[in-house]
Amino acid sequence: MLEQLLIFTRGGLILWTCKELGNALRGSPIDTLIRSCLLEERSGAASYNYDAPGCSYTLKWTFHNDLGLVFVAVYQRILHLLYVDDLLSMVKQEFSVIYDPKRTLYNDFDDIFQQLKKEAEARAEEMKESKQVSKPMNNNLARKQGNVQNGNMDGGNKKKSGGESRNDLDGENFKGHPLENGNLNNNHIGKGEATTIGKNNGKENGISNNGAFDVNKLQKLRSKGGKKTETVANKVSKEETKKTTKKNRVWDDSPKEAKLDFTDPGSENGEQHISVVSADQGESMMDKDEIVSSDNESESEDEETAKDNKIDGKKKGWFSSMFESIAGKANLEKSDLEPALKALKDRLMTKNVAEEIAEKLCESVAASLEGKKLASFTRISSTVQAAMEDALTRILTPRRSIDILRDVHAAKEQGKPYVVVFVGVNGVGKSTNLAKVAYWLQQHNVNVMMAACDTFRSGAVEQLRTHARRQQIPIFEKGYEKDPAIVAKEAIQEASRNGSDVVLVDTAGRMQDNEPLMRALSKLIYVNSPDLVLFVGEALVGNDAVDQLSKFNQKLGDLSPSPNPRLIDGILLTKFDTIDDKVGAALSMVYISGAPVMFVGCGQSYTDLKKLNVKSIVKTLLK
């Protein structure tokens, strides 16, 4: 049974709801659909599942892009209603006829909807009946084919058409033509055209009397040939390894060996020769505004116009294309958008955007443009690019405040430290970027304490101790092979005693499939309830970004004992200075998790930490 059907504008004004349905929906499925699907550029999906206490809904929707209307149907997921898609398209067609932007009430649409619903239900019933009729026919065909394979079919009583006899011959490992009269008899198999095939190919390929191919002989022949080639290849490789042996090259004018260890000399506790770094490295890049240059924009636009003119010239004449550009196209169809969307998808994938994300984005843009009227003197490619630019800007722009300094001061007023937990896979730079965040916070007169909760990797505590010593920051450590959740809890207690404003918790790197380590991380977050969970990820990853973030969120949710588990709140993107224009990892991570990029690491010094410039990323992705 249909629970609810709504028609509303893209601005959020509800124009019509079905009064007869009138069922009170549990939870807020419509609001969740708008927040998590329509606003996040996931509208290209076919449906959306919403789970509420005591019920599960499925939501389907369609757009009228020219009028700016959204049609949403809600029904119980267990029912699997077949007529919903058909009903939505019929409602869309009929409502667009009577729609007037000045009207807000459409009570006269109730009778029309009831008629449309009856028609859609009748069509669904007809489809069910046709499927039920076709099922016994398929069962009879299967029985007949089984009789042919078992040799229990008489040629005089059961005749078949040529197509059926061909299927039966395929069941007997025949690939030839059927017999002329179409009759099959177990006694006559191997005669007619099948016998000619057996005679012609039997000697060469080893076909048995009933026409079946002997695969064993072919496999033996292949294995013999494969062994010979392998032995020859092994001999050649051994000779090459003997001949070519690489020797160390000795340079005449070799420079002096560079100093690799920049740590300050001192005792093991780091009490001697401590240098203050904050006075040397200057202002952090977090407090500097990045200027987005507008170079090469005109060149890229000129290239696009030239390409579009070539494509349009091939497909249609000069006069028709000129007339269409002046008068404007009636309504954009999916076939019109496909070439431009395919080019955009390829461009996004070359920028290191995950293939799945690029495909979903293109589907969402197509859904937002389909049926929309193309304005005069505008090209389809420019319209698609403008829609994609708006979609990317909307995705990358944070939906909530990411002002950590304000949250730190709010926690300070409450008399408790602000806790940040850094999580991520191995080798992405969690400890280094934790030190960069600590340096930036110190510049804003925030008292910071580090917590060495990576009790798994050898050297992790010493690495964090070195950063703390160079920045004159207190560090809380308990060594190795300790429970990181307990270490973090004691560190927070110590921070509240000594008056630290922020506790930066360093955790061990772990792969998303390592369940024991993911369980320990989930326990750490559950026990300590941090204010911010930062996922540290590399800007170098492509498709793996989707796997990492989705599985991290999934494991944190599944392994947490809390009914409302904490997931990833923000993203710290590292090694951003090594990727040139391959900035797609930022888009993939934000799209799959919904969490904003709060920091971007772009170097090896403490000042190399900056904010994500959304305009720059969007421009680079579409360049």
Tokens 């890229």 identify what position? 300
Question: What pLDDT is stored for residue 67 in this prediction?
Answer: 87
- Taken in order 348, 353, 355, 360, the sign of the CA dihedral is negative
pTM over 0.85: no
Cα(413)–Cα(410) distance, integer angstroms: 5
Tokens 């910071």 identify what position? 448
Q: Within 13 Å, how many C-alpha atoms sit on residue 89's CB side?
A: 6
The length of the chain in residues reads 623
Question: What pLDDT is stored for residue 601 in this prediction?
Answer: 92
Q: What SS3 state is found at 147?
A: helix
Q: Which long-range contacts (CB under 8 A, 24 or more apart) does 297-300 make?
A: 297/619, 300/623
Quick one: 133 exposed, middle or buried, by C-beta within 10 A (0-12, 13-18, 19+)?
exposed
DSSP states along 243-300: H--------SSPPPPPP---SPP--TT--SSPPP-TTTS-S-GGGSPPPPP-TTHHHH
DSSP code of 70? E
556 and 568 in contact (C-beta within 8 Å)? Answer: yes
Question: What pLDDT is stored for residue 278 in this prediction?
Answer: 45
Our CA angle for 23, 29, 32, nearest 5°, is 160
605 and 471 in contact (C-beta within 8 Å)? Answer: no
Cα(179)–Cα(202) distance, integer angstroms: 20
pLDDT averaged per 10 residues in sequence order, the chain, 623 residues: 86 83 76 81 77 84 87 86 88 90 86 89 84 59 49 44 43 42 42 41 42 52 50 49 58 56 47 49 72 47 45 46 49 86 92 89 89 78 90 88 90 94 93 95 94 91 94 93 93 93 94 89 93 92 82 90 88 90 89 90 91 91 87
Maximum distance among all alpha carbons in the chain? Answer: 105
Question: What pLDDT is stored for residue 148 in this prediction?
Answer: 45
Strand (E) or helix (H) holding 63? strand 55-64
Question: What pLDDT is stored for residue 296 in this prediction?
Answer: 44
Question: What pLDDT is stored for residue 176 in this prediction?
Answer: 43
Question: What pLDDT is stored for residue 303 in this prediction?
Answer: 47
Per-residue b/e over 143-178, b at no fewer than 16 CB within 10 Å? ebbebbeeeebeeeeeebeeebbbebbeebebeeeb
